[in-house]
Amino acid sequence: MGVYKTSDLKKGLKVQIDGEPYLLQEVDFFKPGKGNALYRCRLKNLVRNTMLDRTLKGGDELEIADIEEIDTVFLYKQSDTFVFMDSTSYEQYELTEGQVDEYWKYLTENLPVSMLLFNGNPITLSPPSHVEMKVVETEPGTKGDTATSVTKPAKVETGGEFQVPGFIKEGNVIKIDTRTGEYVERVSI
């Protein structure tokens, strides 16, 4: 297994600390008046979704995590388990509700999803940046409410609920930004 030296550290690297994978989210370099340079690091645990702050001295090393990103397709949900299939090897992977987290709102059948594997085991997923979903339940808009500042809740086919403009009706297909959970536009079919 390789290592990153402190001079190699940058945002987005995946490292392993005490046998667990972390994503490097922030790296601040500073050099006190005398002594070694210091690197303040903020890391996110990719298994438990917790944050870790660590200060490293110049010359320290961090182990490279055995992380692999694969392209999968969401197949179905069975009780509290979500089933995905690798797009190239057709191998199936299962994630729990805890691992899927808030992304369940965006998972429609056959949705392409990036999955992270740590030592060959699935740990988390990333949906595409935008998804299109059908509105299955929403209040009717009042006549004349065409201003985009008026919003209302709308339930989509996955069971997720999003704020949409007042002109959206049941049966409309809407585009949602998965990074923010916000409505983007109505999709014409």
Would you state the pLDDT for residue 105?
Answer: 93
Its pTM stands at 0.74
Whether 65 contacts 47, CB under 8 Å:
no
Confidence at 142, pLDDT banded by 50, 70, 90: low
Distances (CA, A) of 174 to 73, 79, 101: 21, 27, 22
Mean pLDDT of the region 126-154: 82
Mean pLDDT of the region 10-38: 87
The 3-state secondary structure of 68-116, one letter per residue: EEEEEEEEEEECCEEEEEECCCCCEEEEEHHHHHHHHHHCCCCCEEEEE
Which residue's structure tokens are 């922030």? Answer: 26
Length of the chain measured in residues = 189
Beta strands in 89-187 (DSSP E): 92-96, 112-118, 121-126, 130-138, 151-156, 161-165, 173-177, 182-187
Mean pLDDT of the region 20-32: 88
Percentage of the chain surpassing pLDDT 90? 47
Confidence at 2, pLDDT banded by 50, 70, 90: confident
Task: Render pLDDT for 148-172 as a digit per residue (tens, 0 to 9).
Answer: 578 899 999 999 999 999 888 999 9
Mean pLDDT of the region 98-125: 90
Would you state the pLDDT for residue 131?
Answer: 94
Would you state the pLDDT for residue 147?
Answer: 55
Would you state the pLDDT for residue 100?
Answer: 87
pLDDT value at 143 more than 80: no
Residue from 103, 111, 106, 66 nearest 85 by CA: 111
Would you state the pLDDT for residue 148?
Answer: 53
Confidence at 46, pLDDT banded by 50, 70, 90: confident
Mean pLDDT of the region 8-22: 88
Average pLDDT of the chain? Answer: 88
Residue from 70, 101, 69 nearest 85 by CA: 70
pLDDT value at 178 more than 80: yes
Domains of the chain: 3-64 (2.30.30.30), 67-126 (2.40.50.140), 130-187 (2.40.50.140)
